[in-house]
Amino acid sequence: MSMTGSVLVGAAIWGQNIYNSWRPRKIGIYGSSMVGKTTLDRYMTTPGEMEDIPDEERTRHFKLLTKYLLPKPTRKRITWEGQKRLVHSADIGGEQKYWNLWIEDMVSRQCEAVVYMFDDRAFKGGKEGLDQVAGFTFLVDVLTTKNWRYRNFKSRWRGRKYSPKVIMLVANKADRYFDKKAAMLWPQGRIGEHQIFDPFRDDLIRLQKAGLKSKRSFMATRIGWNVEPTFVELLTS
């Protein structure tokens, strides 16, 4: 390659990095109750060691007549190994009565990427674990069938045409279950083979068959482990 060509390539890479650093990226972050969404939202706003969130501070939404109101998204800047991303996301509750807000949020903002968070309870079973799996199934149902009762014609029209570029399934609270198998798979880039993702495999297959790209990752939001790399990877897709 000539010197002129090298300069042009370097300038193009530099320009792309600047573009990635400052272009707002609309991300939908969803998941069942108490999987770490609010902790993640607070960590991305101000990184550091996070305390456990008391019940009275958990995410709840106001109701107007028969509908819950969508919260406004906030801006966060993610930095990792010299790479920067500007993220727009909202903190939306995980109780089943709020699940419709997930759909309204990602469709109204036309989110380019969707993050679904869960934790080790999904693998252990029980009501909370079943809710986590059911929440992902609900999300996949809407994304693959486009069958959803939107609030108005405009929302329905946008919803019929909407598809995120990528859906990332994030196993949070990795500090509670990161085992020898995870330690082996992690450096090989094969973390998606870990058994923590087993309850979600049927729905991941449905996404693939529908032509929707998916990824998997580990995270521990309370201690800030692998948060920034996950979002840089997500937004480099």
In a domain, 7, yes or no: no
In a domain, 3, yes or no: no
pTM for the model stands at 0.88
In a domain, 221, yes or no: yes
Contact 115, 168 (CB under 8 A): yes
In a domain, 18, yes or no: no
Model pLDDT, residue 23? 79
In a domain, 12, yes or no: no
In a domain, 96, yes or no: yes
Model pLDDT, residue 66? 80
Domain that includes residue 162, residue range: 24-234
Q: What share of the chain is helix, strand, coil (3-state, %, to 5)?
A: 50, 20, 30
Torsion on CA atoms 147, 151, 152, 154, rounded to nearest 10: -70
- CA count, 13 A, side-chain hemisphere, 237: 21
CA distances to 24, 79, 91, 234 from 19, rounded to whole Å, are 10, 14, 26, 16
In a domain, 13, yes or no: no
The 3 state secondary structure assigned to 127-195 is HHHHHHHHHHHHHHHHHHHCCCCCCCHHHHHHHHHCCCCEEEEEECCHHHCCCHHHHHHHHHCCHHHCH
Model pLDDT, residue 173? 95
Number of domains in the chain: 1
In a domain, 15, yes or no: no
Residue ranges for the chain with pLDDT beneath 70: 1-22, 149-153, 237
Query: What CATH number is associated with residue 124?
Result: 3.40.50.300
